[in-house]
């Protein structure tokens, strides 16, 4: 219906245009006000021609914008993207070779996934990948340092706890043996006293020897009791030291800052047909490569995907190792491959 109305308006405009042209052809014989009328009619005809394009729905303008967006997408995908390393802040403690290798690894994944050269290194004409050291990288370094300290505490605590548990188990077994030996000694001592009361003079030597044995056993039990008590006190001190270590470890937890969002460690900007990538922070070579892999996807015009395991998911994590089917399908749909 809209298409028909536009055609009808076009025929009307053509008729009016021919009339105005005829009227203006006699311009030399017209008076001034007739010439003014002619120019006014010409402006009116021009307005009638432009009126369909200035309507509220603007279907033609939307169609042009659609084709423009599609053309930009095709450009982003069909032409190999040239890249290079730009600014490299020495505070990153990263060499140019290491930065280039990480970027090569990331672009290689995209090239292999689609079976075509989507990215190409060009030290002169490539778009710049800048490494800008700021508070985000400092925060990541502090988090990494804190994580290492916590890991050391945890390793020490686990080792001491395991040793303490082994010693406690050994002490408990020795305590049980002591209790049994002490009970047996008490029974033997009671039996000896009974024998003494019932013994006659001929059994004195035998009883004296037995008494000496009981006294030796008693001394041994007393020594064992002292050793067990010392061992118990030592374990109590170790337990207290372990408790203090755990408290020191837990005191570090409030120092942990909020994790930096994935979108904040790297940014890809596309202005017209110009690209620029900026890396603000990374924790490891693997994390840097993953961030570059994500930002190179944006360089092809890709947005964020829905799956957490996808590299193009808005938040990067350890789940994402390589491009998956969702990443590849999103690029094919974006670029029309």
Residue ranges of domains in the chain:
2-55, 73-137+261-335, 151-255
Q: What is the pLDDT of residue 56?
A: 47
Query: Average pLDDT over the chain, rounded to whole?
Result: 75
Nearest CA among 75, 127, 74 for reference residue 103: 127
Bigger pLDDT: 247 or 302? 302
pLDDT in tens, 36-56: 455 455 555 555 554 554 444
* Higher per-residue pLDDT: 163 or 113: 113
Q: What's the CATH code, domain 73-137+261-335?
A: 3.40.390.10
Whether 310 contacts 326, CB under 8 Å:
yes
- What pTM does this model have? 0.49
Pick the range with the lowest mean pLDDT from 104-108, 125-129, 150-154: 150-154
| pLDDT number for residue 316 | 79
Distant-in-sequence, close-in-space partners of 242: CB < 8 Å, separation ≥ 6? 157, 160, 161, 164
Which of the four pLDDT bands, split at 50, 70 and 90, describes residue 120? very high
Instruction: Centre a 10 Å sphere on the Cβ of residue 94 and count the other Cβ atoms it contains.
Output: 19
Share of the chain above pLDDT 90, in %: 19
Q: Strand 266-271 to strand 81-88: parallel, antiparallel, or no bridges (unpaired)?
A: unpaired
pLDDT in tens, 27-39: 444 454 455 455 4
CA–CA dist 155, 122 (Å, integer): 47
pLDDT tens track for 233-263: 888 888 887 787 777 777 766 655 454 444 4
CA distance to 3, 48, 140, 314, per residue, from 264 (Å) = 48, 51, 12, 11
Q: Answer whether residue 315 shows pLDDT above 60.
A: yes
Cβ contact 324:113 at 8 Å: no
Give the per-residue pLDDT at 263: 44
Structure tokens at 274: 């110009």
Tokens of 45: 């005809």
Residue labelled with tokens 């620029």: 276
Report yes or no: 322 and 288 within 8 Å, Cβ to Cβ. no
Judged by average pLDDT, the poorest of 115-129, 145-159, 289-303 is: 145-159
Q: Is the pLDDT of residue 182 over 60?
A: yes
pLDDT at 326 over 80: yes
Strand (E) or helix (H) holding 270: strand 266-271
CB under 8 A, 24+ apart: contacts of 145-154: 146/252, 146/255, 146/256, 149/252, 150/249, 150/252, 150/253, 153/245, 153/248, 153/249, 153/252, 154/249
Residue 79 scores a pLDDT above 60: yes
* The predicted structure's pLDDT at residue 256: 57
Please check the confidence at residue 66 and state whether its pLDDT lies above 60: no
């Amino acid at each position: 219906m809209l298409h028909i109305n536009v055609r009808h308006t076009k025929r009307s405009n053509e008729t009016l245009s021919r009339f105005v042209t005829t009227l203006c052809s006699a311009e030399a014989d017209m008076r001034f006000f007739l010439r003014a009328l002619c120019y006014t009619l010409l402006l009116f005809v021009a307005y009638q021609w432009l009126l369909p394009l200035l309507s509220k729905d603007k279907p033609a303008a939307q169609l042009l914008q659609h084709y423009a967006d599609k053309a930009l997408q095709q450009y982003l995908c069909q032409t190999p993207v040239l890249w290079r390393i730009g600014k490299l802040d020495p505070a990153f403690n990263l060499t140019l070779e290491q930065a280039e290798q990480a970027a090569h690894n990331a672009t290689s994944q995209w090239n292999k996934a689609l079976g075509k050269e989507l990215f190409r290194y060009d030290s002169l004409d490539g778009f710049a990948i800048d490494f800008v050291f700021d508070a985000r990288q400092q925060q990541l370094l502090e988090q990494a340092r804190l994580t290492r300290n916590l890991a050391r505490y945890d390793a020490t605590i686990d080792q001491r706890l395991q040793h303490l548990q082994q010693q406690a188990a050994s002490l408990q077994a020795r305590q049980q043996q002591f209790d049994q030996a002490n009970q047996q000694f008490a029974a033997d001592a009671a039996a000896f006293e009974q024998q003494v009361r019932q013994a006659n003079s001929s059994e004195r030597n035998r009883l004296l020897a037995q008494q000496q044995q009981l006294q030796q056993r008693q001394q041994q039990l007393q020594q064992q009791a002292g050793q067990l008590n010392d061992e118990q006190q030592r374990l109590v001190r170790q337990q207290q030291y372990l408790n203090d270590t755990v408290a020191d470890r837990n005191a570090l937890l409030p120092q942990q800052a909020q994790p930096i969002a994935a979108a904040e460690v790297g940014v890809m900007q596309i202005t017209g047909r110009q690209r620029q990538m900026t890396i603000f922070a990374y924790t490891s070579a693997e994390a840097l490569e993953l961030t570059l892999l994500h930002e190179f996807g944006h360089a092809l015009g890709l947005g964020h995907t829905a799956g957490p395991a996808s590299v193009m998911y808005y938040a990067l994590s350890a789940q994402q190792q390589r491009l998956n089917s969702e990443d590849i399908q999103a690029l094919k749909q974006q670029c029309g491959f």
